[in-house]
Amino acid sequence: MNRPLVYLVLAMAGGIVLGAIFKVQMTVALAGAVLAWMAAGIGILRTWRYNPWVLFCACAALGCLLASWHLAQIVDFEEFNGQKVKLLGVVMDYPDIRPDGVFYKIRLNNLVAGQKTIEKECLLRVKMPQDKVFKYGSILKLQGKLSIPDPPGNPGAFDYGKWLLKQGISATINVKEISDVTLMGQGGNFAVIWAHSLRESLEQIFDKTMPQVQASVIKGIIFGTRGEIPWDVQLAFNSTGLVHILSVSGYHVGLVVALVLILIRLLKIPQGCIAFTAIPLIFFYALMTGLGPPVFRAAAMASLLLLAHHLGREQDWPTTLVLAGGILLAIKPMSLFDIGFQLSFIATWGLLYITPRLIPYFSTMPKNLAMLILVPLAAQLATLPLVVLYFNLVSPVSILANVLTVHLVALTMLFGGIGLFAGIINLSLADFINMGTGFLTDLFIWLVKLCASLPGAAWYIPAPPLWVIGLYYVLLVGLVELSGSQGLQEKLREYINRAKEPRNRYLALSGFALLVLLVLLVLWCLWPVNQGLRVHFIDVGQGDSILIISPAGKKIMVDTGGWKEELVTGKGVGRQVVVPYLHRLGINKLDALILSHPHEDHVGGARAVIDAMPVDLLIVSPYGLEPETMGDKGYDQLLRDMEQMGLDIRAAKAGDILKVEPNITLEFLAPSELLIGSRSDANNNSLVFKLNYQERNILFTGDIETEAEEKLILQEQIENIDVLKVPHHGSGYFHPDFFQIVNPQVAVIQVGANNNFGHPSKKTMEVLEELGCRIYRTDRDGAIILSTTGKRWVVHTGKI
């Protein structure tokens, strides 16, 4: 069998998938693995030695055992969820410093909750204030609130709980005050402590000799530290497909390997000692950067290739790549589900498999220029389905951005490394050298932002089903093999000549027909289908955010949610929830954005939305446009910024109608005139409108309360509504006749779990239940998605 190791490692990976999906019990997995390996051993010694399926099954059983063993290390803390606990543990990784705190991976020694004590070893993720940063190996005694993350409320959203479980983390702890943490001692592995201490000292050189933005980016390039990089810079890297530059991977390890080999040559180290000198240095750098899956893969491949060269063995890249993956999966089986692991291995496969086969088509170009284009092209072709699956992103400028910056990154790393060596000797010397490093970093950032600003630089599309991804790779491999090194024309001629033979004609025609059928099937699946009217009530916690998608594809957003201070800082639910939700649906433009009233829980995410995509029309309440009716802090600045961006801003009032499509209208019912002196003027002057589509309708009510509801009742336009967006998150401030007159079939309450306002009110829930309508709540059901073709409503929820 050619390259048996490739198939055996793939079998082990398949076993890990099965063990993780079906959560096979440890004893069952162990028994299966023992029996499988006994059978394989007998087969090798006796009559089955030529039956490879026995070894495949044994490796699959081993993978299943590894997954079961990993899952068995996770302790169930469900009974302590939400409780304050005390624990003693050891920091197991480099601290992750973010603007909102410092995150640690801590191995638990013992935990006390109330009268119970747990002494099982497991991993916890702990968040602490930035007042003090603890190092790897620190033994800490602390107290904080234990939490088990809820599943995401919005379909396709990042599942924080699953992400933790894949790393073997059982729960999270939130420490409010640094005084609740006591350093008890120091432990950990000496090599890791040394690597992390050196990294911390080197990062401080950048912090002391460069401005914050430059330092954060150069630390990301050299060490993979991303928590301090400004959001706009990270967004530019994401949009141009250059985010891998800020995560240490094969490119960075390759540069380090080249530097190490140059130093070895300069030091005239004997040929027989090169591998044994270089490999420890490579893995020491990997330890400094956190030894994540991409850097481990690159370090392992580099080490295996150096060993093969030392032993005089053939350097076979498929075997080397798969062996590196097998070693990593044996140590950390759940790395298989890590996005970085998948992208790193598939990108490397693309570089090593696709690039050589495309070189003949660029033979008229200078070789260096051809490789500048081919390397990012091969990587993009290989990773495209996974990038779309996980990030919904297609970046047409990725190749251009890579071509423009690839040598600049290498030069920046070189100057950064020189600056570090200089800083160890003298900080003033590092300050002088890092002036050049800073210039290169600024130029790098400028080029990235320039590429990101180009029209169509980033395009978001819905995630494809898994079978489409599989079909993509089948077609990709088929086309690459067909093109081959002989050239596409020669291959086709050879194929046609063979097909002329009677015995091959039927096979050739069948293959061609199958290929055409597969292409037509993909086109049919991707062809846009009229799905009627869809209304998404997005789970944004305590706030409102609604997306309307018409049958013809018009997109209208009503409110954008918002967290505290988001109008001022721009950080919050808009960036973390609303924009990703739109991108997952493949939305790149809004036809209209409606802001019901100037309260932060309705408009806080608006800045993130308008920064992320064009908006044709902005509709606002007349309340908040005048100084005496100004809304929450930052709303006036938001409107001014929108006006400067050239947005068409209009204030709506009762009687206005927005015609979305011939059979879809938004009929504004309030405010007819501003209500002043009510319990909450901002709430009572919310935009209220009715969406009409054929025989169906929805009433959107913002945060109106008793006074505004009374005026609506007098207008006699709110009777017999199909779907009601319940006013003010289900507040108890409602007119006694309002719900009876509306008489909805479906009531939707957008509300945050365990909020401080007591929403929804018990009184409101009782009235709605008496009406017999179906009640949906975002705190309980997650996102609520309604769809209709004009006859009846179909409801789906984000949580099961």
Residue 302's SS3 state is: helix
Q: H-type helices in 289-338, by residue range? A: 293-311, 317-331
Closest C-alpha among 64, 122, 111 to residue 333: 64
- In this prediction, residues 507-520 reach a mean pLDDT of 64
Whether residue 117 is contained in a domain is answered as yes
- Within this chain, do residues 653 and 764 fall inside the same structural domain, yes or no? yes
Question: Contact at 8 Å (CB) between 399 and 376?
Answer: yes
- Within this chain, do residues 629 and 755 fall inside the same structural domain, yes or no? yes
The least confident of 77-86, 167-176, 248-257, 587-596 is 248-257
Nearest-angstrom CA–CA distance, 649 and 603 = 15
DSSP 437-506: HHHHHHHHHHHHHHHHHSTTS-EE-PPPPHHHHHHHHHHHHHHHHHHTTT-HHHHHHHHHHHHTSHHHHH
The b-or-e profile of 89-124 (16+ CB within 10 A means b, else e) is bbbbbbbbeeeebbbbbbbbbebebeeeebeeebbb
**Radius of gyration for the chain, computed over Cα atoms and rounded to the nearest angstrom:** 30
- In this prediction, residues 388-415 reach a mean pLDDT of 91
**Does the pLDDT at position 708 exceed 80?**
yes
Question: Contact at 8 Å (CB) between 744 and 767?
Answer: no
Q: Beta strands 723-725 and 696-700: pairing type?
A: parallel
- Within this chain, do residues 563 and 504 fall inside the same structural domain, yes or no? no
The 10 Å Cβ neighbour count of residue 129 is 16
Residue 393's SS3 state is: strand
- Within this chain, do residues 40 and 90 fall inside the same structural domain, yes or no? no
Query: Predicted confidence band at 35 (pLDDT cuts at 50, 70, 90)?
Result: very high
Whether residue 445 is contained in a domain is answered as no
- Within this chain, do residues 36 and 135 fall inside the same structural domain, yes or no? no
Q: Which of 110-114, 209-213, 353-357, 521-525 has the highest mean pLDDT?
A: 209-213
**Does the pLDDT at position 512 exceed 80?**
no
Instruction: Enter the tokens of residue 677.
Output: 């002196």
- Within this chain, do residues 521 and 610 fall inside the same structural domain, yes or no? no
The least confident of 137-151, 156-170, 477-491 is 477-491
Q: Beta strands 664-670 and 138-147: pairing type?
A: unpaired
Nearest-angstrom CA–CA distance, 225 and 202 = 12
How far apart, in Å, are the Cα atoms of 172 and each of 130, 334, 404, 665? Answer: 17, 19, 42, 47
Residue 485 pLDDT: 46
Contacts of 511 (CB under 8 A, 6+ apart): none
- In this prediction, residues 547-552 reach a mean pLDDT of 95
Residue 754: enclosing H or E segment and its boundaries?
none
The least confident of 220-229, 542-551, 699-708 is 220-229
Nearest-angstrom CA–CA distance, 250 and 301 = 9
Whether residue 607 is contained in a domain is answered as yes
pLDDT digits (tens, 9 = 90+) for 178-206: 999 999 999 989 999 999 999 999 999 99
Output the domain CATH number for residue 130. 2.40.50
Residue 568 pLDDT: 87
356 preceded by a cis bond (ω within 30 of 0): no
Q: Which domain holds residue 586?
A: 533-797
Residue 418 pLDDT: 92
Whether residue 291 is contained in a domain is answered as no
Instruction: Enter the tokens of residue 698.
Output: 């929805």
**Does the pLDDT at position 498 exceed 90?**
no
Q: Provide the domain count of the chain.
A: 4
Residue at which a domain ends, from 476, 492, 526: 526
Q: Which residue has the tokens 């048996």?
A: 4
- Within this chain, do residues 664 and 788 fall inside the same structural domain, yes or no? yes
- Within this chain, do residues 41 and 105 fall inside the same structural domain, yes or no? no
Which residues does residue 608 pair with via DSSP β-bridges, in sequence order?
A: none
Residue 524 pLDDT: 64
Q: How far is CA 577 from the centre of its chain?
A: 11
**Does the pLDDT at position 489 exceed 70?**
no
Cα torsion 71, 76, 77, 78: sign = positive
**Does the pLDDT at position 323 exceed 70?**
yes
Question: Contact at 8 Å (CB) between 501 and 756?
Answer: no
Quote the longest CA-to-CA distance of the chain: 94
- In this prediction, residues 427-439 reach a mean pLDDT of 94
Whether residue 363 is contained in a domain is answered as no
Whether residue 559 is contained in a domain is answered as yes
pLDDT digits (tens, 9 = 90+) for 716-728: 889 989 999 999 9
Half-sphere exposure of 411 (CA within 13 A, CB side): 14
Cα torsion 161, 163, 166, 167: sign = negative
Query: Predicted confidence band at 4 (pLDDT cuts at 50, 70, 90)?
Result: confident
- In this prediction, residues 557-566 reach a mean pLDDT of 94
Output the domain CATH number for residue 724. 3.60.15.10
Whether residue 29 is contained in a domain is answered as yes
- Within this chain, do residues 68 and 83 fall inside the same structural domain, yes or no? no
Question: Contact at 8 Å (CB) between 689 and 680?
Answer: no
Query: Predicted confidence band at 87 (pLDDT cuts at 50, 70, 90)?
Result: very high
**Does the pLDDT at position 406 exceed 80?**
yes
Residue at which a domain ends, from 526, 547, 578: 526
Residue 560's SS3 state is: strand
Sheet holding 657-661, edge to edge: 657-661, 664-670, 688-693, 696-700, 723-725, 746-749, 774-777
Whether residue 710 is contained in a domain is answered as yes
Nearest-angstrom CA–CA distance, 117 and 104 = 22
**Does the pLDDT at position 211 exceed 60?**
yes
**Does the pLDDT at position 150 exceed 80?**
yes
- Within this chain, do residues 486 and 633 fall inside the same structural domain, yes or no? no
The least confident of 102-111, 233-242, 602-611, 744-753 is 233-242
564: left (phi over 0), alpha (psi -120 to 50) or beta: beta
Nearest-angstrom CA–CA distance, 244 and 229 = 14
Residue at which a domain ends, from 153, 168, 188: 188
- CA terminus-to-terminus distance, the chain: 47
- Within this chain, do residues 510 and 615 fall inside the same structural domain, yes or no? no
> Long-range CB contacts (< 8 A, 24+ apart) of 424-427?
424/205, 427/205, 427/208, 427/209
- Within this chain, do residues 479 and 570 fall inside the same structural domain, yes or no? no
How far apart, in Å, are the Cα atoms of 300 and each of 257, 306, 631, 769? Answer: 12, 10, 57, 62
From start to end of 177-248, where are the E strands? 181-186
Mean pLDDT of the chain: 89
